[in-house]
Amino acid sequence: MFVKIMRHQTKTFFTFKNVKISTRNISNRPDFTKNRYKITRGNYNYLHEEHIHYFQNLLGESRIVMDLSDLEKYNVDWFNQVRGCSSIVLKPKTTEEVSNILRFCDLNKLAVCPQGGNTSVLGGSVPVFDEVIISTELMNEIVDLDEHSGVITCQAGCILENIDNYLETKGLIVPLDLGAKGTCHIGGNVSTNAGGMRLIQFGNMHGNILGIEAVKANGDVVDCLSTLKKDNTGYHLKHLFIGSEGTLGFVTKVALQCPARPKFRNVAFLGLQNFVKVLKTFKLLRQRLAEILSAVEVIDTPTMEFIKNVNSQNSPIGEYPFYLMIETSGSNERHDEEKLSGFFEEAIHKGLVLNGIVANEPAKIQKIWSVRENIANGFKARGSKMLQYDISLPFKDYYNIMEPIREYTKDVSETVFGFGHMGDGNLHLQIILKSDVTEKIRSKINDFVFEKILELKGSISAEHGIGLLKAKYMDKIKPQSSIKLMKSVKKLMDPNGILNPYKVLL
Amino acid sequence: MFVKIMRHQTKTFFTFKNVKISTRNISNRPDFTKNRYKITRGNYNYLHEEHIHYFQNLLGESRIVMDLSDLEKYNVDWFNQVRGCSSIVLKPKTTEEVSNILRFCDLNKLAVCPQGGNTSVLGGSVPVFDEVIISTELMNEIVDLDEHSGVITCQAGCILENIDNYLETKGLIVPLDLGAKGTCHIGGNVSTNAGGMRLIQFGNMHGNILGIEAVKANGDVVDCLSTLKKDNTGYHLKHLFIGSEGTLGFVTKVALQCPARPKFRNVAFLGLQNFVKVLKTFKLLRQRLAEILSAVEVIDTPTMEFIKNVNSQNSPIGEYPFYLMIETSGSNERHDEEKLSGFFEEAIHKGLVLNGIVANEPAKIQKIWSVRENIANGFKARGSKMLQYDISLPFKDYYNIMEPIREYTKDVSETVFGFGHMGDGNLHLQIILKSDVTEKIRSKINDFVFEKILELKGSISAEHGIGLLKAKYMDKIKPQSSIKLMKSVKKLMDPNGILNPYKVLL
């Protein structure tokens, strides 16, 4: 067995490519969603001249998009999977404007589609028909930062990475990190209960969001914008808006608890022989790195092949059946390094890890992270040839789901690969098809995958939500009592059903 | 300045008193709540023979309490502040029984009062009139533990400390710790969104609760009992039950994410000169102890006087204007001690801390903690001579509220003291009156205190909830839009208003 732990090594590092997730390639447009998925338009009104006049009076012409070519990027999702045909995008700047728009749409029974950075994986952020798109693009102000408590209050349209860059200057960090950070809006993160790579360290949005201001379908502003860490006065309404994907209200402001920015960071990239050793290594990581363990990402061999093909990036340590990317974030450089060394010694002694590399300089850390962060860059070009699954599974079965799926899809798939946030039991499973397939075959594959997930007591959506593309599975995966309650909550919050229709609940 | 940091010192330690919070002294009973607070009974039916027969058939006579003397402990709260006059306590063992009880009560318009360990500070857990008490006393089974993921699933009536003792044998810890842990039920903790002493380390219930099973007023079981760390399928309904104090549903089961039990713990008790130094010390603690800082409790001089009087406990380090009790929980003994030493060196060098003691042996740690944990033991005897406030304030104003309140109440108060979870901006402010006062004077004091809190942008209930005693303030402290939405959510979940009436929303 070849064991080599290389600290601060540089020769195997690749060039960091600053591929922004925000670029849109609309030359290869998908079919209209309404046709592809044979969806029936809801009983909403169509946009009339008088509606447009109202919006023009409210926002001025400069904050309304109606030009066909400009509209395209709001009508098509980043993954090129879905395409709506909205003829108008509104760009409010204030909560009051959002309130006026929604009140008007509700009275006039115009369906709306709230949109942040439009990075939804499941078609949740683009219209299906002609919904009025309300974009948070211009709601990008930081309202307040309490440096004592680390609570930042900002508008929903702030880009996650911009918030983090701002906080960095104050010694704080956003407790959320995901591949789309350069494009996604905090309002969208809240609305989809985004998870990402550092949930293992910081916990989820329900724990970190202290306050939300949102607008109901009828234009009522719901002010739950507390900035206190503890506030037990009445129902905790803000959670209704976390994870409901814009179907219960339009999030306009967010107050977020931000921890102190860790002073020292180490990232290690490990090669392992099989998944049993991955599991054992994960257990050891939790014991040895404990309070400084901030991310544990797993990558399998076919994922690394995919990365090589689409991003021209190689594994920085040569080829192995499995890779773990682990990160520590601590307050004492020597302590962190000692803990990491202790982990390595034991991992090597126990024969768990075959090879590894560690970096502690920001540029090198970024290079290692880019292997993981840029995976999704290859997805768009595959469009509908790609089936994406975002799965939660109990740890013991985390990777067991792969083989039956490879077997089931062997005639139609080019490759089936898995990577993800191992620390949270969250696997991103991808199937790339040899060629585009009929909706029927696609449905059969989905059914098979979802059945397997349910057999293993997992979730068919760990962090991407339901959006449009998984809505039809809700009845199969949730108890009827939950569906019934969800529907009555929807009816309460949005009696005319104007908010993001065709999504989440059918 | 006398600076002395004593590691492993024993001579100033006091005897640990295992005073269980569960003891009930009902000899000194408070007035009936309905009389004292002049509350009008809701339009509910009265308990008839036929109702009792139904309950007897369902549960058997052994699980129904109707004897007057046995009923008393369910009708009176732990703090001897409120007293209901229920004539029946039901003790279901299963979700199905809870469902049958609620369905029957809803159909027969009988009001109910859900009750866990009955440790509510604000009268939330006892009836006001003749509500049927449904106790979780016998719902005390651990349903499942996934040792890989650390997720425990248990019935609502499990006592917090029992869960923790069980988890200790598995190397895990409950991410919640409060004074009432020996009595309070996990269902009550969830229903009140309990905070406690280690929120700074583990985060809040919204972040740590993975799943909830609850029964609606009409008997429908809402199954949101996911045990996955990430599950974004549909609305996150479970949060409706967290912090709504049993008014939206009856929590029957809970799935809780439990972290690895920290291997090493240190507790330090520090003496400080003034509150400015407390604030500076807190900042230094966050910098130096960062990821291992698991609790920061502050105690002022009059609190220490109170502790001395009621528990015969002295400060283990002599007398100082302020005390900080800090705790570290880490995975490497030497690293933790080095971090702590580094903190002490700097704190002494900067003249922040006057004296201190550190303990790392469990028995000694428990002795130090008992100073803080036993404070509430003195509250009950004071009954209505005591005004209790559970406040959240922005850090910079954390203690600024004390002086105006001392000044305002100087003619009627014996002492005004403050202690609490500094790490969360959560202050427990107590006023002990010279003698019992009229409701009018009590109301005036409350109004003054609440006005000051709102001036400082704080919360009038950080972690104790609203219960009965703060319900009348809701209109003053919450925006009308929130109250309106809360009322419509209540109407949706419990159209007949049978669940815990007179609490939270009036």
Q: What is the pLDDT of residues B111-164, one digit of tens each?
A: 999 999 999 999 999 999 999 999 999 999 999 999 888 999 999 999 999 999
pLDDT of B428 higher than 70 = yes
| Closest residue in A to B463 (Cα–Cα) | A232
Contact A331/B466, CB-based, under 8 Å? no
Q: Cα distance from B6 to chain A (closest Cα, Å)?
A: 24
**In this structure, is residue A107 part of a structural domain?**
yes
Q: β-pairing, B132-135 with B112-115? A: parallel
Helix (H) or strand (E) run with residue B252 in it: strand B250-257
User: Both B250 and B351 in a single domain?
Assistant: no
**In this structure, is residue A127 part of a structural domain?**
yes
User: Both B195 and B245 in a single domain?
Assistant: yes
Indicate the residue among B373, B397, B421 that finishes a domain.
B373
Chain B CB contacts of A337 below 8 Å: none
User: Both B191 and B206 in a single domain?
Assistant: yes
Q: β-pairing, B322-330 with B264-272? A: antiparallel
User: Both B150 and B220 in a single domain?
Assistant: yes
Nearest to A232 among B193, B239, B486 (CB): B193
Distances (CA, A) of B449 to A268, B150, B165, B353, B390: 53, 42, 39, 31, 11
Segment B361-384 shows an average pLDDT of 87
What CATH number does the domain containing B244 carry?
3.30.465.10
What number of other Cβ atoms are within 10 A of residue B90's Cβ?
A: 22
Q: β-pairing, B142-146 with B151-155? A: antiparallel
A204 in contact with B, Cβ within 8 Å: yes
What percent of chain A is predicted at pLDDT more than 90? 82
User: Both B392 and B360 in a single domain?
Assistant: no
What is the number of domains present in chain A? 3
pLDDT of B498 higher than 50 = yes
User: Both B193 and B244 in a single domain?
Assistant: yes
- Tell which of A232, A280, A282, A333 to mutate to test the B interface (max B CBs under 10 Å): A232
CB pairs under 8 A between A and B: 265
Chain B CB contacts of A492 below 8 Å: 488-489, 492
Contact A292/B291, CB-based, under 8 Å? yes
Chain B CB contacts of A396 below 8 Å: 148
**In this structure, is residue B494 part of a structural domain?**
no
**In this structure, is residue B88 part of a structural domain?**
no
What CATH number does the domain containing B274 carry?
3.30.70.2190
User: Both A385 and A340 in a single domain?
Assistant: no
| Closest residue in A to B328 (Cα–Cα) | A291
B457 in contact with A, Cβ within 8 Å: yes
Residue B27 — pLDDT band, cuts 50, 70, 90? low
**In this structure, is residue A154 part of a structural domain?**
no
B240 in contact with A, Cβ within 8 Å: yes
pLDDT of B385 higher than 50 = yes
Chain B CB contacts of A171 below 8 Å: none
User: Both B319 and B359 in a single domain?
Assistant: yes
- With 0-12 / 13-18 / 19 or more C-beta atoms within 10 angstroms meaning exposed / middle / buried, residue A270 is buried
Contact B236/A243, CB-based, under 8 Å? yes
Domain enclosing residue B335, as ranges:
5-16+262-373
- Tell which of B103, B235, B288 to mutate to test the A interface (max A CBs under 10 Å): B235
Segment B312-317 shows an average pLDDT of 92
Nearest to A231 among B148, B240, B392 (CB): B392
Contact B233/A207, CB-based, under 8 Å? no
Indicate the residue among B309, B341, B373 that finishes a domain.
B373
What CATH number does the domain containing A114 carry?
3.30.43.10
Q: What is the pLDDT of residues A465-483, one digit of tens each?
A: 999 999 999 999 999 999 9
ipTM tops 0.85: yes
- With 0-12 / 13-18 / 19 or more C-beta atoms within 10 angstroms meaning exposed / middle / buried, residue A140 is middle
B268 in contact with A, Cβ within 8 Å: no
pLDDT of amino acid A6: 41
Q: Cα distance from A220 to chain B (closest Cα, Å)?
A: 7
User: Both B253 and B146 in a single domain?
Assistant: yes
A260/A201 Cα distance (integer angstroms): 12
User: Both B308 and B252 in a single domain?
Assistant: no
Chain B CB contacts of A235 below 8 Å: 240, 243-244, 248, 486, 489-490, 504
Contact A479/B424, CB-based, under 8 Å? no
What CATH number does the domain containing B453 carry?
3.30.70.2740
A-proximal residues of B, 47-106, CB under 8 Å: none
**In this structure, is residue B407 part of a structural domain?**
yes
pLDDT of amino acid B228: 93
User: Both A386 and A351 in a single domain?
Assistant: no
A-proximal residues of B, 168-187, CB under 8 Å: none
A483 in contact with B, Cβ within 8 Å: yes
A-proximal residues of B, 348-407, CB under 8 Å: 392-396
Question: Nearest CA to B362 among B260, B285, B262, B282?
Answer: B262
**In this structure, is residue A412 part of a structural domain?**
yes
User: Both A369 and A381 in a single domain?
Assistant: no
pLDDT of A424 higher than 70 = yes
The alpha carbon of residue A189 and the mean position of all alpha carbons in its chain are separated, in whole angstroms, by 7
Q: Cα distance from A486 to chain B (closest Cα, Å)?
A: 6
Indicate the residue among B209, B238, B257 that finishes a domain.
B257
pLDDT of B262 higher than 50 = yes
**In this structure, is residue A364 part of a structural domain?**
yes
Lowest mean pLDDT of B11-20, B232-241, B488-497, name the range.
B11-20
What number of other Cβ atoms are within 10 A of residue A439's Cβ?
A: 12
Chain A CB contacts of B292 below 8 Å: 291
Residue B412 — pLDDT band, cuts 50, 70, 90? very high
A370 versus A380: which is more confidently predicted? A370
Q: Which amino acid is at A271?
A: G
Nearest to B260 among A204, A286, A490 (CB): A286
Q: What is the pLDDT of residues B432-477, one digit of tens each?
A: 999 878 888 888 999 999 999 999 999 999 999 999 999 999 999 9
